Structure 1
């Protein structure tokens, strides 16, 4: 049995090292406690206690080497708040995620512009209002930006195209107005950008600069866009999914050159004329909808074109052939 003195020293040292084994950076911990205070000490942040290691706290993550806070995620909660200004005081943050928070209100806080290491920014399914701020273009490390399903209004800042590493941009399901910036055809980021601008009130034409862009996915549906949309296509592109439905586009479909990579095409509810080009039989289409347009002529036979039912083709001016009624001889 150990002498009493040795036992005392052992437990003293154990308490000493336990008290000094916290990994979390003290300044980061101070900021997180300030965020908790600004959020009125919600139940979801119960684990955020001053006497515990903040690297073990719920909804945050520390870097394994530096032990700085690199991720803050709040999701699916009835928490009522505006974005805390203290969020901008976590300089090593790489992920900021506010997802499905219906009682998150107010604008996108300018403090976010201080997060120069941010790679992933998602603030979606909330009640945020105000504009898409121009200062987001200062976050040069962003690879993913999702501001969908909010109440954002105003025009889209052209400066977002200056983000050099952006791979996905979601601005859909808002109340955005104005035209699509010409600069969106000059993204310097990865070539297979995902662009979602659907369910807004955008107007005008698709910028001619889109001829230079090779989007992997482009969704411009449910806006008020007009003119020739064929600029999004091209023989040398690798685009897979295109949704231009429920706009006011007007162009000749028979003159469009489709990329061989195309797997999904939705053009329904526009003013598109011409006929379906026979080249579409060579596409490996998994989805097609050209209904409610002004197309004429026989649907080419072959490929996947007959695998879709009549709802993919109906309500056109004089389109005929399977799966629609036979063409008159």
Structure 2
């Protein structure tokens, strides 16, 4: 059932960090740490932002899942809008909510560029603007938001190069830029990411050049740079002291001798290297892994597939279209 509220703020049933959901569909709610509304002791209302109130009251369709969340100080700290067909730039009033820690505008068909006024949100930790029609460069001024922990900009129309200044965000542990039109090289400064478990997803772009070797010093647990035009050697991402769980380097122009890789992260579950120019043979170290998925097809590898682990359980499509790989599950070696 659709519930309509005249204002956006801590009005009505608030308790601690929860607030009512406006115009939500049954079953929908907050993503990534938000809360549904609960009954509780009412607290004084936050003065409504006139621009935001007008926009909310008259613009979003009933299919939108909207919500805000208030801190116990009555400051709005979470703003969520999902699944709406707005076809307009992000309203400037959103960036007047200066105490926001979470901003989610997901599948709302917002257009235009990310405005500089987003730097007003100095408390922001989680930014999700995914699945929109945002365009232009990814702005370097995002690095002014020192508290950011996650940046999610996937499925937009961003162009240009990735700003090296993003590495200045010392709390950042997740950067999601996939499914855009980004060009240029991966910044060497990305070696400066120092969070213990870092998620990096930049697939389906037009990135080129070699992945900076200095990035071996960052601690990635997920990296997906598939479907770009990257070349060179990425073997430095592998090693016994790494924490990598998921790695997808498929459909690039990578060239290196895979047989020279001696060790892998014991946590590695997915490794996709298909459609590259990788040579050598499969490393014996793969038998020590509990792999859920391995794909090395469409490369230039030769030699016997090591016996052990889960390597013989995989489909032949995980290995085919190489120069001369052989052994189970492929044909016998001659």
TM-score in terms of structure 2 length: 0.84
Matched, 1:236 2:257: no
Mapped to 2, the partners of 1:122 and 1:43 lie a distance apart of 18
Partner of 1:322: 328
Aligned counterpart in structure 1 of residue 230 of structure 2, from 225, 242, 253:
225
State the secondary structure of the residue aligned to 1:125. Answer: coil
**Which residue number corresponds to residue 135 of structure 1?**
141
Match of 1:288 in 2: 294
- CA positional deviation for 1:89: 1.2
Aligned to 2:79: 72
Contact 1:211–1:231 (8 Å) recurs in 2? yes
Contact 1:116 1:141 survives alignment (8 Å): yes
Residue 252 (structure 1) aligned with residue 283 (structure 2): no
Q: Give secondary structure in 2 for the equivalent of 1:113.
A: helix
What is the aligned partner in structure 1 of residue 131 from structure 2? 125
Distance 1:75 1:121, change over 3 A: same
| 3-state secondary structure, aligned to 1:59 | strand
Give the Cα–Cα distance (whole angstroms) in 2 for the partners of residues 214 and 144 of structure 1: 16
- The answer to whether the 8 A contact 1:39-1:84 is kept is no
Instruction: Write out per-residue CA displacement over residues 12-68 of structure 1, whole angstroms, 9 at most, x where no aligned residue.
Output: xxxxxxxxx762322xx1x2x30243578214489xxxxxxxxxx9511111x2011
Question: How far off is 1:210 after superposition?
Answer: 1.1
Which of 86, 97, 105 matches 1:98? Answer: 105
Give the structure 2 partner of residue 192 of structure 1.
197
Structure 1 counterpart SS, 2:166: helix
Q: Which structure shows the bigger proportion of residues in helix conformation? A: 1
Alpha-carbon separation, structure 1, partners of 2:124 and 2:118: 9
- C-alpha deviation, 1:150, in angstroms: 0.3
Task: Name 1:35's counterpart in structure 2.
Answer: 52
Computed over aligned residues only, the root mean square deviation of the Cα atoms, in angstroms, reads 1.9
Structure whose alpha-carbon radius of gyration is higher: 1
Quick one: structure 1 residues 169 and 43, their matched pair in 2 at CA, closer, same or farther if it must change by over 3 Å?
Answer: closer
CA contact (8 A) 1:69 1:93 kept: yes
Which residue pairs with 1:50 in the alignment? Answer: none
- Say whether the 8 Å CA contact 1:297–1:319 is kept in structure 2: yes
Q: How does 1:254-269 map to 2 (within 5 A)?
A: 254-256=259-261, 257-269=263-275
TM-score (norm 1): 0.85
In structure 2, the residue corresponding to 1:87 is in which secondary structure? Answer: helix
What secondary structure sits across from 1:71 in the alignment? strand
- Which among 290, 298, 315 is matched to residue 304 of structure 2? 298
Q: Distance in 1 between the 2:221 and 2:101 partners?
A: 25
CA deviation profile, 1:283-303 (whole Å, cap 9, x unmatched) = 111100000000000001101
Partner deviation per Cα, 1:180-212 (whole Å, 9 max, x = no partner): 000111113x22100001100000001011110
Q: Which residue in 1 is equivalent to 2:30? A: none
Contact persistence 2:274–2:297 (CA under 8 A) = yes
Residue number in structure 2 paired with 1:87 = 94
Asked if the contact 1:217/1:241 (under 8 Å) is kept, the reply is yes
Match of 1:272 in 2: 278
The number of residues matched between the two structures is 292
Query: Any idea what SS the aligned residue of 2:165 has?
Result: helix
Distance in 2 between the 1:118 and 1:248 partners? 37
Distance 2:315 2:154 in 1: 32
Q: Structure 1 97/58 Cα, relative in aligned 2: closer, same or farther at 3 Å?
A: closer
Q: Deviations over 1:305-324 (max 9, x none)?
A: 01101000000000001111
Q: Any runs of at least 4 consecutive aligned residues in structure 1 with deviations exceeding 3 A, and if so which?
A: 36-40, 43-46
- Structure 1 unaligned residues grouped into runs of 5+: 1-20, 47-56
